[in-house]
Structure 1
Amino acid sequence: MASNLWSEDQFSCPVCLELLKDPVTIPCGHSYCMGCIKNCWDHTDHTGVYSCPQCRKTFIPRPDLRRNTMLAEVVEELKKTGLNPPPAQSYAGPEDVPCDFCTGRKFKAVKSCLTCLASYCETHVKPHYEGAAFKRHKLVNATGNLEQKLCAEHQKVLEVFCRTDQMFICLLCTHKEHKSHDTDLS
């Protein structure tokens, strides 16, 4: 059965991360919801240069978009055979940290990068695990207001409380400026 051979990710729009709605395939071969790619390109209309959000291939002039009927039929068949959109609990609620890279309705972030100062859902964090360029990035459990949780001097996480100064400091600060202070490491 087809639903056993394909995963939902293969039929999800890379922009909204939901199952393709009115799918279109652009000249580089990537597929999007008609509304999502139109919205992306409408924001760059003033430049006259349009690019694929995935591979960054550029197009001049703006490509005409036509519904990919075969892909639309496949998505509809897969919906009938049990392939469903992501469960509602994967979307960010008021108490969750939203993914900084999701557009439209945001998914719940699972990791935050202290190097990028951004939070990522399961889909958008993948490059941090797979790409060589991200090997030195520091991932932590999803946390909001990242800039406020980093030491301004050392760019490290504020994880130690200095009782003397009544403030959070990073581990490097305990060896320097706060060396003789009463900290929760003492």
Structure 2
Amino acid sequence: MSDSQSPKNNEVPTLLVVDSKGDELLCFLEQIVPLSDVEYVLLTPVDTPVSLFRLREDNDPELIKTIEKKEPILEVADVVLQEYDLKLIRSAVTLTITGELDEPEPEELEEKDFDEDSELYELLVNFKVKDDEYGLYIPLDPFFIVGKIIDGNATVLEGEEFDKIQPLIEAELEKRDF
């Protein structure tokens, strides 16, 4: 079901989760929630999740919700991130960044509230593609992924199945004071 990322006993177990397109994401296993003979799992990515926004001068940045893996915007982002010894990973569920990120000083933190579900983001890098400007932002709120384990394999809950199970998982976690 899971393997440990390092031999230390105090490490959180990790789990490789797969989405409906076959894309993978290595995650920390945060919680197991058994419901109706199915093990649902609450996960957080091992690598740093990032969100891609189109930046506009007069408006709030626009979240780009779906993007193809071979999109030219991501190829430019790859080049920009290499300057910081970072690598963009096209994972299941979200884009992630690997590499050493500098921890910002609290007073240097430029938080942006984009009114997208009132989440806060920190700008990682911005760049131009043709005449448009884009930014990769790190969500400052925890980034949870819900999955289920079947025959030892973890899959991402998506669409109607996620909509149906999410309230049940939330209710169970509230009972546990999570």
**Pairwise same-fold verdict (TM > 0.5):** no
TM-score range, shorter chain: under 0.3
Question: Which has a greater percent of helix?
Answer: 1
TM-score for both structures, normalised by structure 1? 0.20
Task: Choose between structure 1 and 2 for higher RCO, CA contacts under 8 A separated by at least 6 residues.
Answer: 2
Bigger radius of gyration, 1 or 2?
1
Question: Which has a greater percent of strand?
Answer: 2
